[in-house]
Every structure is written in structure tokens, then in C-alpha cells.
């Protein structure tokens, strides 16, 4: 059955005083959430969202991945609503979300915002997610080129995110993955600084750990002014195993979670 072998790195960076990126990597789930820059309590939004998605996946192994991700996104939104109700100073908190979940046979992607998912396969490098940003919308409309978008001062203006005020409408799609594929999930602290060719070259090193570490370091050396997070995973075919995982970034501090006891079994997902 399909599984992930993974490595993950997250760094506060050289400018920010705290990490608003959060992430989880496990044999069946990969997840990156990036607190929207400048918004209140971005680390609470990202950590809570990553926690809800990962806890839901761990609590319901083998469930339909697309439905589970949709349900978990709604549940994360409900947690952010509760978080603002408990502390009005959190009003405005929001996060991106990029998550890949497999049940061993099917694999799904949920995406909101401008964190990214990439696929490296047989030397080809493809972006799996589609940015929900102002400049991407302008590219889609033919008003600017991708090169102009990359240089635009408005490239970080996010049009969709997970927050406490609007019902989330993530992109939800099936992925056609196979053993031998390598995935990268990253925050824009990586993708805003490194060109795709550089990302692909670093990602192609044999070691998962070195790939994740070198991506983060290259982004920092390239002048990233943001938090930087990279999760690198190989798709393998292996016997089922008990799910576990690695938590990185803001998720490592329980104080960033709205309610650590929030995730309870669902009747269906």
C-alpha cells in the first residue's frame, strides 16, 4: 500500500521573531500551514489547523482521503471560530493549508492559500497546488506573466485562507501518485526565494533529510525574510503500519492550539 517516507524542517528565519509556520509529516499525511503574515495570532491559526488535520487523519485511518480532508478543514475553521470567541485579540488570524493524505490506495490534496505542493517524478518537476493569490489570479486572466508575478510587490496577497470569518472552500483533488515519486510541501518562505529549477535540483538528492535541510538553508541564504518550512517525502509501496508522525514549527508548542482536546471521533468522514 502507498505510504510516505519523510523528512521535515522548519526555521523561524533571520527576520521574524517567531515561527508562524506549522507542519506535520507521517506515513499517510503530509501537511503545511503558514500563518498569514501580518494577521493576529498566525501561529495559533497554523498550529491549530495542522493539529486538527493531522489528529483527524490519525484518528480515522483508511477513511476516504478527500472527504476526510474536507471534513478536517471545516473542523479547523470551527476551531478558529472558537479561538476568536475565547480571545478577541485573535480576530483576523488566518492560515494557508496544503495537505496530502493517502489511505494506501488513493491520495488526495487539500489546498488553500499560497503554500505549495510539488511532485518530482522521473526528472520532471510539477507544481500540484494552485496559488490562491492576487498575482496568480492576474496570471490566470492573462494580465501579467508568471515572471512578472514572481517579481510583483503584491505576490504575497492571499485571496483565500483558512480563518474564523468565512467558510473555507479549499481546492480538493485526487492525485495520481506512484512509488518512486518524491513530494515537496513548503511554505512561501521557500517558493518565494528559490526558482523552481533550484528547488528541483536540491530536491533530487538521494537523502530526504539532506533535501529538506538544504532547501531550508538555501532559502535562508537566498534572502528569505519569512519563516521557512519544507517537508520532503518519497512515495513507497510497503505493508501497513501504525501511523505516527513528526511535528514541526508552531505545532510543537501546545500553547498555540485553541483546544488540544478538540478532535473526537466522527461518525463518518
Please name the residues in contact with 78: beta carbons below 8 A apart, sequence gap of 6 or more: none
Distance separating alpha carbons of residues 179 and 4, to the nearest angstrom: 9
- Does 12 have pLDDT greater than 90? yes
Distance separating alpha carbons of residues 46 and 94, to the nearest angstrom: 7
Q: Which residue segments constitute the domains of the chain, with CATH numbers given? A: 2-256 (3.60.40.10)
pLDDT tens profile 167-199: 999 999 999 999 999 999 999 999 999 999 999
> Residue 72 phi/psi, 5° resolution?
-65, -35
Length of the chain: 269
Q: Which residue is listed with cell 476568536? A: 84
Contact at 8 Å (CB) between 181 and 208? no
Lowest-confidence segment of 18-27, 70-79, 154-163 by average pLDDT: 154-163
pLDDT tens profile 193-215: 999 999 999 999 999 999 999 99
Contact at 8 Å (CB) between 101 and 120? no
Nearest Cα to Cα of residue 260 among 31, 79, 60: 79
Please name the residues in contact with 267: beta carbons below 8 A apart, sequence gap of 6 or more: none
Distance separating alpha carbons of residues 32 and 100, to the nearest angstrom: 9
Amino acid at each position: 500500500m502507498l505510504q510516505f517516507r519523510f523528512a521535515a524542517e522548519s526555521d523561524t528565519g533571520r527576520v521574524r521573531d517567531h515561527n508562524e509556520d506549522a507542519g506535520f509529516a507521517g506515513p499517510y499525511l503530509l501537511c503545511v500551514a503558514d500563518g498569514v503574515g501580518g494577521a493576529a495570532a498566525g501561529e495559533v491559526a497554523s498550529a491549530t489547523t495542522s493539529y486538527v488535520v493531522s489528529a483527524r487523519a490519525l484518528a480515522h485511518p483508511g477513511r476516504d482521503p478527500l472527504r476526510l480532508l474536507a471534513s478536517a478543514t471545516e473542523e479547523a475553521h470551527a476551531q478558529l471560530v472558537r479561538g476568536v470567541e475565547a480571545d478577541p485579540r485573535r480576530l483576523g488570524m488566518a492560515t494557508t493549508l496544503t495537505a496530502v493524505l493517502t489511505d494506501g490506495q488513493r491520495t488526495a490534496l487539500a489546498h488553500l492559500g499560497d503554500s505549495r505542493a510539488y511532485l518530482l517524478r522521473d526528472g520532471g518537476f510539477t507544481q500540484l497546488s494552485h496559488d490562491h493569490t492576487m498575482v496568480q489570479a492576474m496570471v490566470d486572466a492573462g494580465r501579467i506573466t508568471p515572471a512578472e508575478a514572481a517579481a510583483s510587490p503584491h505576490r504575497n496577497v492571499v485571496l483565500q485562507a483558512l480563518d474564523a470569518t468565512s467558510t473555507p472552500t479549499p481546492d480538493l483533488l485526487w492525485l495520481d501518485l506512484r512509488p518512486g515519486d518524491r513530494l515537496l510541501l513548503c511554505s512561501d518562505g521557500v517558493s518565494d526565494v528559490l526558482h523552481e529549477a533550484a528547488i528541483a535540483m536540491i530536491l533530487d538528492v538521494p537523502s530526504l533529510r539532506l533535501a529538506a535541510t538544504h532547501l531550508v538553508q538555501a532559502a535562508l541564504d537566498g534572502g528569505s525574510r519569512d519563516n521557512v518550512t519544507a517537508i520532503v517525502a518519497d512515495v513507497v509501496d510497503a505493508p501497513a503500519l501504525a501511523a505516527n508522525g513528526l511535528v514541526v514549527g508552531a505545532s510543537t508548542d501546545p500553547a498555540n492550539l485553541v483546544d488540544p482536546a478538540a478532535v473526537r471521533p466522527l461518525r463518518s468522514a
